[in-house]
């Protein structure tokens, strides 16, 4: 139920793939995010669940900016949900 509410308020209508990297610190959340994106098609949305604040606020968003991917960071109670839409430019 909570996930549906978040996605309805998100710029992304659905999630195509989700990875949970809670408990991992940099560089592992970023590495796993890049690996997951490699397996995805353009316009698909990856959800990354992390409790590592710098991954959610710095390293993953920086990669998204470099690749011109749309992204959104949603703060939950004790973790972050990073939604990334893969694009052709990346």
* Residue position matching structure tokens 């970023």: 30
CA quadruple 83, 34, 67, 38: dihedral positive or negative? negative
CA quadruple 74, 76, 80, 82: dihedral positive or negative? negative
Q: Of 6, 15, 19, 26, which one is the catalytic site residue? A: 26
Q: What is the DSSP letter of 40?
A: S
**Could you confirm whether 26 is annotated as catalytic?**
yes
Catalytic positions are 26
């Amino acid at each position: 139920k909570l996930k549906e509410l978040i996605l309805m308020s998100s710029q992304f209508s659905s999630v195509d793939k989700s990875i949970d990297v809670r408990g991992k610190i940099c560089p592992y959340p970023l590495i796993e995010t890049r690996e997951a994106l490699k397996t995805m098609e353009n316009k698909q949305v990856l959800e990354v669940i992390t409790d590592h604040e710098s991954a959610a606020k710095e390293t993953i968003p920086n990669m998204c900016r470099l690749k011109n991917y749309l992204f959104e960071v949603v703060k939950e109670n004790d973790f972050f949900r990073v939604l990334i839409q893969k694009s052709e430019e990346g």
